[in-house]
Amino acid sequence: MTAGTAENGRFTSTKLAGAVRHDWTRDEVAALFALPFPDLIYQAQTVHRAYFDATQVQVSTLLSIKTGGCPEDCAYCPQSAKYDTGVKAEKLMALDVVLKEAKAAKDAGASRFCMGAAWRNPKDRDLDKVCAMVEGVRAMGLETCVTLGMLTKPQAERLKDSGLDYYNHNLDTSPEFYGDIITTRTYQDRLDTLSHVRDAGINVCCGGIVGMGESADDRVGMIATLASLPAHPESVPINMLVQVEGTPLMGESKLDPLDFVRTIAAARITMPRSMVRLSAGREDMNDEMQALCFLAGANSIFYGPKLLTTPNPAADRDRVLMNRLGMRAMD
């Protein structure tokens, strides 16, 4: 199948829905965002169904294994030491505590266990401890994902040797808007870490955040950048900003929820084989909004009461939602 053009929201005879392409232009992505909403959702559903069972949702659980005290200045993040958010800096969690949490996540139905550490980059001695966590969690039959900040090539290889399945490192936003959000490392630093991870043979989890005061063109730029990476990230988390008191983005004007849905749909259409994760911000979304996100091609969620340091819907609410929609967790 080849990818659909945006003209009138219909697929042309030369290009059908759902090809995996890496040459998406900004104009093409902008044209997707500009489609009438029903046409956009129709395209997203068509692409989604070409690769996935649209009734299934992959479920991940995220644990903060090292909270707070981060030297980076990401303007959305309550874990940055630069902002007074009330998040206390903690040490790296002990292995047995992490394994207990992983077991509970597995019992609750998670298939992937993600571990996040608030570091600019891991020290080699910390990496050894994280590798032991990866080995332990994998031994339980769960997929593993970690997010530890920037990695060198040897560190990525060390993680691969421990059996790591996924590494999360988000591009966050468009290259143009990035400097308004983070000044302590560059967009290129992020791309370099992503290529070390990819070269090491680890699956990539990479997406961004919307609702940070970016323009519509920045949302286009973020999706176009992700979709034109040499290989699409296997997981693409799309986050709605969770505003936290004390961070510079507190009080930012709220994004139109339908623009969030459009971003999900554009990710689905441009990265047809990727798992598109409806990520942070779900706590503030009603069931109808989440249903729209699934219709737009989201097929992964985080399960559990917390996403690192911000609230997430309780597992019970998610179960009720899945039942209401006739959807189920992916095996």
Task: Give the active site residues.
Answer: 70, 74, 77, 114, 145, 205, 277
Q: Smaller CB distance to ligand SF4: residue 118 or 220?
A: 118
Q: Which of 61, 79, 239, 279 binds ligand SF4 (CB under 6 A)?
A: 79
Q: Smaller CB distance to ligand SF4: residue 30 or 74?
A: 74
Q: Smaller CB distance to ligand SF4: residue 75 or 296?
A: 75
Q: Which stretch binds ligand SF4 (CB under 6 A): 19-27, 39-47, 66-74, 197-205?
A: 66-74
Q: Is 64 in the site for ligand SF4 (CB under 6 A)?
A: no
Q: Which of 44, 63, 70, 197 binds ligand SF4 (CB under 6 A)?
A: 70
What does the DSSP assignment read for 48-59?
HHHHS-TTEEEE
C-beta of residue 73 within 8 angstroms of C-beta of residue 80: yes
Query: Measured from the CB of residue 80, what is the shortest distance to ligand SF4 in angstroms?
Result: 4
Query: Measured from the CB of residue 113, what is the shortest distance to ligand SF4 in angstroms?
Result: 19
If you count DSSP H runs as helices and E runs as strands, how many of each does the chain have, helices first? 11, 12
**Bridge partners of 70?**
80
Q: Which residue has the tokens 């910390």?
A: 126
Helix (H) or strand (E) holding 222: helix 216-227
Q: Is 148 in the site for ligand SF4 (CB under 6 A)?
A: no
Q: Is 72 in the site for ligand SF4 (CB under 6 A)?
A: yes
Q: Smaller CB distance to ligand SF4: residue 109 or 213?
A: 213
Which of the 8 DSSP states describes residue 70?
B
What does the DSSP assignment read for 154-203?
HHHHHHHHTT--EEE---BS-TTTHHHH--SS-HHHHHHHHHHHHHTTPE
Q: Which of 46, 58, 61, 80 binds ligand SF4 (CB under 6 A)?
A: 80
- Residue 6 phi/psi, 5-degree rounding, is -90, -5
Q: Smaller CB distance to ligand SF4: residue 79 or 155?
A: 79
Q: Which stretch binds ligand SF4 (CB under 6 A): 67-75, 125-133, 232-240, 310-318?
A: 67-75
Q: Which amino acid is at 97?
A: V
Q: Smaller CB distance to ligand SF4: residue 73 or 135?
A: 73
Query: Measured from the CB of residue 283, what is the shortest distance to ligand SF4 in angstroms?
Result: 18
3-class secondary-structure state, position 40 = helix
Q: Which residue has the tokens 């510079």?
A: 248
- The two structure tokens encoding residue 46: 């068509």
Total binding residues for ligand SF4 by CB under 6 A?
Answer: 8
Q: Which of 9, 18, 136, 149 binds ligand SF4 (CB under 6 A)?
A: 149
Cα 31 to Cα 282: distance, rounded to the nearest angstrom = 27
Query: Measured from the CB of residue 174, what is the shortest distance to ligand SF4 in angstroms?
Result: 17
Q: Is 74 in the site for ligand SF4 (CB under 6 A)?
A: yes
Q: Which amino acid is at 110?
A: A
**DSSP-derived pairing of the beta strands 208-210 and 112-117:** unpaired
C-beta of residue 110 within 8 angstroms of C-beta of residue 63: no
Site for ligand SF4 in 100-139 (CB under 6 A): 118
3-class secondary-structure state, position 246 = coil
Length of the chain equals: 331
Q: Smaller CB distance to ligand SF4: residue 102 or 118?
A: 118
Query: Measured from the CB of residue 74, what is the shortest distance to ligand SF4 in angstroms?
Result: 3
Judged by the rule CB under 6 A, the positions of this chain that interact with ligand SF4 are 70, 72, 74, 77, 79-80, 118, 149
